[in-house]
Every structure is written in structure tokens, then in C-alpha cells.
Chains A and B, each alone.
Chain A
Amino acid sequence: MTLTLQDARELVGNTLLRIVPDADLDALPDDAPFRDELELDSLDFLSFVELLSTGSGRRIDEDDYPRLRTMSDCIGFLST
């Protein structure tokens, strides 16, 4: 399933907020690696992938992880 750019952005944002409830996403540039910015550890990132996969109905393999580093990455990944 492919998402529109807007839906993809919303899904990624909401997913990040589930994991870091008080994250200031407005202050997060699209090209910033959010694992560093939001201090996600490997378990957080796993939850992120899990929620993203459920929310988009799309299978995400470990090999895809490098394509999920920034907001732009994620939007690109989910909308293609």
C-alpha cells in the first residue's frame, strides 16, 4: 500500500509522538536523523518500525532500516 506524501508525513509524525510523547517535531528538520535527534535507542526504533509497518500496512525488513533515517527518508519510503 502506498501513502500520499501528506498521509506518510502524518503517520511518521504520529508514530514518533507515540514513542517520544513530548517530542517537538516542528523543530525537527526533514533531513535530520531522528534516531539521534530524539535519542531513540534500538528498542525505540524497533517500536517505531513496528508502528510504522502496522500503520502503513507495509512490510518493513531490517534491510529497509537505512531508508528510515529522516522524515524525508520515511516519507519517500512510504509513498513509493
Chain B
Amino acid sequence: MPSLGADMDEGTVIEWLVKPGDTVHKGDPVAVVDTDKAAIEVETFAGGTIDQILVPVGERVQVGTPLATINGTGPTPQPAPAPQRPATPAPVPARPAQGLPSEIQGGPPEFPVGNPPAQRAAPPATVTSVDRLKASPYARKLAHSLDVDLTAVPATGQRGMVTAEDVRRFAANPPRPSTQPSTKEPTTTPAPRHVVQQGSPRAAIARLMTRSTQEIPHYYLSTTVDLGTAIAWLSRTNRELPVAERLVPAALLLKATALAAQRHPELNGYWTEDAFRPADQVHLGVAISLRGGGLVAPALHDVASLPVHDVMARLRDLVERARAGRLRRAEMTEATITITNLGDQGVESVHGIIYPPQVALVGAGRIVERPWAVDGLLGVRPCLTLTLAADHRATDGFTGGRFLATVDRLLQTPEEL
């Protein structure tokens, strides 16, 4: 069970994407894990043949617990370890069957997970709440695309949860009424509305944000950016584009933020073990609100090097997968700086809380028309309040101020983004 975020102590396998005998290659997704916040695809760190599934669907295990064994070159147990540098071969625990979590280290720095008892997760009792969603997010999406009525699908997952496999099986072989003897009674009551992963995602966010405010001395900066040029450029550009390729202001904002982070590397990286470790690339975490509650901030990788049209496409893909519960491990663990955009919710500014172990969080509010002086003349321009919350251990306000000024300047020449 890999650690899929600084706040994760345990996880539940909600779907296996492989079975014993399957051949896998390093990097293949092998399982879907529910982290309390989202369902994440977990990939294997070793290639070979799946030997044994050690953790069945529905079982909640500690981070570090081996999930499956893989026969590769020799019998290499596959521990799906906590974020491991891709170049490093997976470490080989002596006995995969031992349930003890191994020490988590290496890879993108993580906050130590689950050591101080005071910060441990609430007991699993909360998780067995009867109000839980009765289908995984992916199962829901799949059901929709296959036009399957979820309430009619016999559930085999934990606590009566409908898994994606259930949906597939059902779609492939829809049972006539009363010819489904063995599985559970299809429930006739519709899945509860508005009850999405109640309790636990909130608890996960609570843990992480509490840790952040307790440990990180934040400082906050704010500036107002004239987006007149950028919006006009977007409008011209979009006129030439089919809807599917049109850009939204957020795409420009993401690109400008990533470029600025690249130019101010003191804000891009991790604070671990009393020192700042800059990251090589800018993996921009994007805060995404999930329908029905909850928040994830998965990373768009290496945004600074992407053309703005690619940033847009990747952003759409990321948001869609986040809401469908199909994020990948690397996306959940590798953000080096995060941006939150609450503009669509109507507020003008947001002063965020940093995702540890990152050291900066950029906040964007709603784009509003404001009186604005340009060259001594007053006009009405679309304006954006841009904020920075940064870790004072890693940087001073001077650095943060230059960073925001860089974002502003970059947004004045959108055609160069």
C-alpha cells in the first residue's frame, strides 16, 4: 500500500485491475485504492507476472503493507512501496505476508506519515458509516457510460459497495429478474443522493490542514492583476477554435504560475527535515473540488514546458479524472507547488493553506470588472486578485513578492505563454 499523500495512513483496495498470472510492466496500473479522499490508480514498480494478491478488495490496510507479489527476475515480492524514485528498484521485504508497515522513505519527500500518535487517523469506526457511497466513483462513471442502472447491479465490494467489476459483469451479462441466485439481493432503494464518501474525506483534509497550520509559519501576499490583455487574447484565440479546444483563463494562469515558479525555485519544492529541497521541475498541484464535497489537489506534471493548449487539455483531463475517481499515484504525490482557483465560486480572493511538504500555494479569485488606470486614463478592465501563501521557513516576503510580480508580468503577454 503506497502512501498517496502526506495525510494518508491507511488505504482500501477497491478494485484489482490485474489477477494472478497476468503479466505487468513497471508503471502499469494494477489496483485502485481508496484513500478516504479519492480513488487512485496505483501502478506497479516492478514488472513480471502477478503471483499472489495479498490484500483482497475491501480490506483496509496500513501504508507499507504489501498488496501483491510479482514473479519477475526471480521471485520478487512487490510491495508497491511508498513513493519511490522510479529509477530505484523496488526494495524487497523479506516476507511479504507480514502485515507490518515498513518505514516509508525515499522518493518525493513526504511528511512522516502516521508516527506521532496524536496525529493518527480517527479509528476506522468512522469509515464503516452506513451512509457511505454504495459505488466507487469509477463504477459510477462506468455505469453511466454503459447505461447501467447502478441500483440494479449486485454489489460484491466492501460494505455492499458496487465495484467497477460488478458493473462490467452486469453490463456484459444483464441478468433477467430472479435468475441471479448467488449474489446479494439487488437493492431496490436508490443510492442515497448527496452522500458522497461522507466523513472520511473531510477527516483527511482536516488532518492535513491542521498539520499545515500547526507546523508551517505562513506569510500572505496579494496583488491585483489586470487581465485585459489576456482576456482579449483568449477571446480572439477561441474564436478560431472548436469548443473542445477553447481555452479558459485558468489555463493561462496555470502556465504563468508554473513559469514563475521555475524562475523563483525557492518556492517550488519541499520542506523536509528542517531544510528546503527545490524540485527540478514544476509539478503544479491544482485544487479541484469534488462534487458532493471533498477536495483533491493532484499535480499536472512539468507545466512550465507545455504549450498553453496542452496545459488546457491536461487540465480538463485531470479535472474529469479527479471527479471520476481515476487519479494516478504520481499525480497525488508529486505536486511541488499548488494553485487554488476559487473564482468560479464567486469570491474575489482566497488566502490558502499550504499543502505540506510544499512551501507555497497560489490563490486566484474571480475575474471582476474594475475601474483601472492605464497610462493615466481610467478604464474598466477585468481584474484578478492573485495571492500567495508561502512558508516563511523557506522564503521571505521579498521572494514571494517577486514571484507574484512575475506571474503578473507573464500574464501581460499571453501570446508568449
Report A's interface with B, CB cutoff 8 A.
18, 20-22, 24, 36, 39-43, 46-47, 49-50, 53, 60-62
Q: Which 7 A-B pairs have the closest CB atoms?
A: A41-B344, A50-B243, A42-B248, A53-B243, A49-B243, A62-B238, A50-B244
In the bound assembly, the distance between CA atoms of A39 and B323 in angstroms comes to 14
Check if B176 is an interface residue, CB within 8 A of chain A. no
In the bound assembly, the distance between CA atoms of A43 and B140 in angstroms comes to 20
With A21-B144, A24-B193, A60-B243 given, is the CB distance from A43 to B248 under 8 Å?
yes
Check if B54 is an interface residue, CB within 8 A of chain A. no
Interface size on B, residues (CB 8 A): 23
With A42-B344, A53-B243 given, is the CB distance from A62 to B235 under 8 Å?
yes
With A41-B344, A42-B344, A43-B319 given, is the CB distance from A62 to B193 under 8 Å?
no
In the bound assembly, the distance between CA atoms of A35 and B24 in angstroms comes to 43
Question: Which residues of B308-363 are within 8 A (CB) of A?
Answer: 315-316, 319, 343-346
Chain B residue at minimal CB-CB distance from A49: B243
With A21-B144, A22-B194, A53-B243 given, is the CB distance from A46 to B235 under 8 Å?
no
A21 touches B140 (CB 8 A): yes
Between-chain CB contacts (< 8 Å), 16 pairs? A22-B193, A22-B194, A22-B291, A24-B193, A36-B346, A39-B345, A40-B344, A41-B289, A42-B248, A42-B343, A42-B344, A43-B250, A46-B246, A46-B316, A47-B316, A61-B239
B243 touches A20 (CB 8 A): no
Across the interface, which residues of A come within 8 angstroms of B235, CB to CB? 62
Chain A residue at minimal CB-CB distance from B241: A62
Check if B249 is an interface residue, CB within 8 A of chain A. yes
Chain A residue at minimal CB-CB distance from B318: A43
- A59 vs chain B, min Cβ distance (A): 9
Beyond the given A18-B144, A22-B291, A43-B315, could you list 9 further A-B residue pairs with CB under 8 A, ordered by the A residue number?
A22-B194, A41-B344, A42-B248, A42-B249, A42-B344, A43-B248, A47-B316, A49-B243, A50-B243
In the bound assembly, the distance between CA atoms of A37 and B316 in angstroms comes to 21
- B135 vs chain A, min Cβ distance (A): 11
In the bound assembly, the distance between CA atoms of A49 and B239 in angstroms comes to 14
In the bound assembly, the distance between CA atoms of A55 and B344 in angstroms comes to 25
In the bound assembly, the distance between CA atoms of A50 and B312 in angstroms comes to 15
Most chain-B CB neighbours within 10 Å: which of A24, A43, A46? A43
Contact of B316 among A43, A61, A62 (CB under 8 A): A43
- B318 vs chain A, min Cβ distance (A): 10
In the bound assembly, the distance between CA atoms of A22 and B135 in angstroms comes to 13
Chain B residue at minimal CB-CB distance from A48: B243
- B194 vs chain A, min Cβ distance (A): 7
Across the interface, which residues of B come within 8 angstroms of A22, CB to CB? 193-194, 291-292
- B252 vs chain A, min Cβ distance (A): 12
In the bound assembly, the distance between CA atoms of A65 and B156 in angstroms comes to 44
A62 touches B246 (CB 8 A): yes
In the bound assembly, the distance between CA atoms of A39 and B289 in angstroms comes to 10
In the bound assembly, the distance between CA atoms of A24 and B193 in angstroms comes to 10
Render B230-260 as a binary contact track against A, CB cut-off 8 A, 1 for contact: 0000010011000110101110000000000
Across the interface, which residues of A come within 8 angstroms of B239, CB to CB? 61-62
In the bound assembly, the distance between CA atoms of A60 and B246 in angstroms comes to 11
In the bound assembly, the distance between CA atoms of A24 and B194 in angstroms comes to 10
Chain B residue at minimal CB-CB distance from A51: B243
Chain B residue at minimal CB-CB distance from A22: B193
In the bound assembly, the distance between CA atoms of A36 and B238 in angstroms comes to 24
Across the interface, which residues of B come within 8 angstroms of A60, CB to CB? 243
In the bound assembly, the distance between CA atoms of A10 and B244 in angstroms comes to 22
Across the interface, which residues of A come within 8 angstroms of B248, CB to CB? 42-43, 46
B243 touches A46 (CB 8 A): yes
B250 touches A42 (CB 8 A): yes
Chain B residue at minimal CB-CB distance from A36: B346
B291 touches A20 (CB 8 A): yes
- B316 vs chain A, min Cβ distance (A): 6
Chain A residue at minimal CB-CB distance from B238: A62
Across the interface, which residues of B come within 8 angstroms of A49, CB to CB? 243
- A51 vs chain B, min Cβ distance (A): 9
- B116 vs chain A, min Cβ distance (A): 37
In the bound assembly, the distance between CA atoms of A62 and B235 in angstroms comes to 7
